Structure 1
Amino acid sequence: MTDPLRILTIFGTRPEAIKLFPLVHALDADSRFISRVCVSGQHRDMLDQVLAIAGLAPDHDLDVMQPGQTLDMLTANLLSGLGQVMDAEKPDWVVVQGDTATAMAGALAAYYRKIPVAHVEAGLRSGNIHHPWPEEVNRKIIGTIARLHLAPTETSAEALRRENVAPETIHVTGNTVIDALHWITRRIGQEPALAAGLAELEARFNGKRIIGVTSHRRENFGGGLEAIAAAIREIARRDDVALIFPVHPNPNVRAVMDGALAGLPNVAMIEPLDYPHFARLLDICHLMLSDSGGVQEEAPALGKPVLVMRETTERPEGVAAGTARLVGTDSRRIVEEVTRLLDDEAAYAEMARAHNPFGDGRSVGRIVELLAIRP
C-alpha cells in the first residue's frame, strides 16, 4: 500500500485562509493525504476569525508580525520560520495561495529544499510590478518556482504560458473563493446568528440601496485614499443610498477615512467584518465599491456589480465579462460610475446578470486530484 502524501498548506492572511480552508477540509477528509497546516499570522486577528469559523487548528503558528516591521524584515522572518517548519514536516507538496509575502516566502523556502510547490490561484498578472505592490512581483516569483500551477481561469493559464511555464504543469481549476462562498452561505442558512451582527444597520438603512465599500491597497495610500474618501462624501449626499464601510485597521487607511467621513448619517464606518458578516454584506448590498482583489471574484457570484478603485487589475476576466469595471481613484470618475449604476436600471442589470467567470464551486475537488499525483 502506498504511503499517504504529506501536504503542508501555508497561509497567513484572511484572504488566503478563506480561499484555502475548503481545500484543507478536503485534504483532511481524504485518506490519500496527511494534511498539515502552517499559518504565519501575517493578518493576526482577521486570520483567527476565519480559522474559528472554518474550524481549523493549525499545526504550526509562526505569529510573525511585529510593530513597525518592514517588508524585508517580514520576508526574512517568514523565510526562516517556514524553512524550520518544512525541515520538521518534510512534506511531499507545499501548497501556497495567491500573492502574499507568506506565499512568496513559502515557495522560496520550499525551493531551497527542493520540495515541489503547488500554487493555488496561479497566473494572475496586472503587467505592472508596482500595481498591485508588492503582490505582482510575489506572484511572478512563485510562478518561477511552482511545479503545479492551479490557475483559476483560462486567462490566468494563458498568462503563464506567455511566460514559458511548461504547459503540462498548468491546470485551470476555477477559484476556490467560490467554493468558500458557497460553504459559508450554506452555514449562514443553517445558522443565521452567524451573520446577525449587521441587523441593526440593515434596520437603520431600511429602504435605502446599500453600497458596500472596502479600501486598503498600499498603492492607494495617501492621495488615492483621499480621493476615494472625497468620492464617498459626494455619493453620501444622496438620500436614497447608504454606505457600509468596514474600515481596514491600518492607520494609513483609518486616519484618512475618519477625517473625511466621520459623522455622515448614511455612512457606517465599522470594524472589519468576519467572514460570515462580510458574506452577508455582499448579499444585502446593491453594489460594491472596492480596491480589493477578492471582492472582484466574490460579489459577482451573488450578482452584485463591482466598481474597482484601481488603475489596473490582475483579474481582467471580471472586466471582460462585465461583472466589474475599473474606475481608478479619481473622485469624479468614481461618483459618475456609481451614479450611473444607481440611476440607469439597464446599466445595472447588465452588470448584475453577467456571467461570473471565476468558478463553479467545484475547484477544490479538481485541486485534490492533482495533488494526489506523486511529484
Structure 2
Amino acid sequence: MKVALIFGTRPEAIKMAPVFYQLKNIGIDAKVLVTGQHKEMLYQVLDLFEVKPDYDLEIMKQGQDLSELTSRLIQKVDKVVKDEKFDYILVQGDTTSAFVGALVGYYNQIPVGHIEAGLRTGDIFSPFPEEANRKLIGNIADIHFAPTVVNSKNLLQEGYCSSKIIETGNTVIDALYWVKQNKSSDLEKIKEKYNIHNKKYILMTMHRRENWGKPMENVLQGVRKYLEENKDLYLVFPMHLNPLVRESVNKVLEGFERKILIDPLEYLEFIAIMDGAHYIMTDSGGVQEEAPSLGKPTLVLRDTTERPEAIEAGTAKLIGTSAGNVYNYMKLLEGNLYQEMSKANNPYGDGKTSERIGNYLKNRRK
C-alpha cells in the first residue's frame, strides 16, 4: 500500500510527523509531499522530526493570493499524484494545501483520509479560508479521523455516515509527548537562551487574517493596560513576519519595557516557551490543543472557535478581541479561575492518535 501525506505548513508538519513514523513502523509505504505553503517554519519542523520529503513543490512566491496559490497547487500536486499512483491520500486540517490534496485525490479517484476532521465554527468566513476548506475536504473524504466527540457530532449532523467517522484524538498531542520525552534538556536551554527561565510571563500569539489591524490593536491595548498595573509580569510575543502584524504590535507597545518581542519560533523553541509561561493568549488553534497538556490556561483571542472542547473542559476561555474583555479576563485569572483552568483535563488526546490512524489503514490493506 502506497500512501501520500500531503501538507505544506508548520502546524501540518507537526501533526503529520507522528503519522508518518507510525505508517513506516507498520510497513506501509508512506511518501511525503510538501507544498512549501510555509517556507522556513515548515523545514524547521521537518528537521526536528527528521522527516525527509519525497517531493517539495516550493509553491510560495511573493504577492501570491489564494486563487493563484490554489491553481498552482492543483497543477503541481496532480502531476505527482499521477506519476506515483497512490493507493491512499492523507491530508490534515484545513489549509489550502490540505484542500488541494483532497481535491486532486478526488479528481484521480483516490480515497482520501482527513486527519483532524469535523472542526466547525459555523461561519465560512471565520476563520478564513480554513472553515470553508475543512467543509470542502469533508465532502471529498473517504474517512474522517475526528479528534473528539464534538467533531464526530458535527459530522453526523452534516449527514456523514457514522461508519466513516473514527474518533482518534489529535496527533498534535502525540508530537508534544514525543518532544517532552526526547528533548527535555533542550527545552530548558531554550528558556535560558531567551532569558525567560527566571521570569513570570504571559505568552501571546496572534496571526489570523481576521485579527490583523484593529482587532489586534484592541487586544494589545487591553494587555498593555493590565501589564502596566502588574509590574511582576512580562509579555513574550513571537511576532508573525507579516508587516501588518508587526506594525500593530510596534504601534501599541511602543515605550512599554516589559515586552520580549521575538521572531517566529521553531517548534521546539515554541514548546519550551509555552512550557515556561504563566498562561497563554492566542488565536491559534494548535495552541488551544497543546496548552492543556502543559497545564497552561488559555485565553482565546477570537469571536468563534472550532475547538469548543477546550472551552467545555475548562482549559480555555473564548474572550474575543475587545480591549475591555481582554483586560477583564486577565484580571479574572488572578483568582481561583487560574487553578481551575490549569488543572483541567486535556480533551484532545492521549498520545495514541497516530496508532489509531495507522491501524485503520493497515486493516484496509488486508
Using the size of structure 1 for normalisation, the TM-score is 0.95
5 Å matches for 1:49-88?
A: 49-88=44-83
Q: Deviations over 1:302-340 (max 9, x none)?
A: 111110000000000010111110000001101110121
- 1:95 and 2:90 matched: yes
Give the Cα separation in 2 of the matches to 1:187 and 1:35. Answer: 24
- Between the two proteins, the alignment pairs up a number of residues equal to 364
Q: What is the aligned counterpart of 2:111 among 92, 113, 116?
A: 116
Partner of 2:8: 12
Q: What is the aligned counterpart of 1:209 among 200, 209, 214?
A: 200
**What is the CA-CA distance between 1:372 and the residue it aligns to?**
1.6
Q: Which letter does structure 2 place at the counterpart of 1:45? A: E
8 Å Cα contact 2:41/2:266 also seen in 1: yes
- 1:250 and 2:225 matched: no
Partner of 1:234: 225
SS of residue in 2 equivalent to 1:312? coil
Partner of 2:344: 354
CA gap of 1:201–1:265, structure 2 versus 1, over 3 A, is: farther
CA gap of 1:227–1:374, structure 2 versus 1, over 3 A, is: same
Give the Cα separation in 2 of the matches to 1:53 and 1:327. Answer: 33
SS of residue in 2 equivalent to 1:314? coil
Q: Which letter does structure 1 place at the counterpart of 2:32? A: V
Q: Which letter does structure 1 place at the counterpart of 2:318? A: L
Q: Which letter does structure 2 place at the counterpart of 1:233? A: R
Partner of 1:36: 31
**What is the CA-CA distance between 1:264 and the residue it aligns to?**
2.3
Q: Which letter does structure 2 place at the counterpart of 1:13? A: T
Using the size of structure 2 for normalisation, the TM-score is 0.97
5+ long unaligned stretches in structure 2: none
Partner of 2:364: 374
8 Å Cα contact 1:306/1:325 also seen in 2: yes
Partner of 2:329: 337
Q: What is the aligned counterpart of 2:143 among 139, 148, 151?
A: 148
- Identity among equivalent pairs (%): 45
CA gap of 1:240–1:337, structure 2 versus 1, over 3 A, is: same
Give the Cα separation in 1 of the matches to 2:136 and 2:128. Answer: 13
- 1:26 and 2:18 matched: no
Give the Cα separation in 2 of the matches to 1:82 and 1:198. Answer: 39
**What is the CA-CA distance between 1:236 and the residue it aligns to?**
2.6
CA gap of 1:195–1:371, structure 2 versus 1, over 3 A, is: farther
SS of residue in 2 equivalent to 1:104? helix
Give the Cα separation in 1 of the matches to 2:240 and 2:227. Answer: 20
Give the Cα separation in 1 of the matches to 2:105 and 2:98. Answer: 11
**What is the CA-CA distance between 1:200 and the residue it aligns to?**
4.3
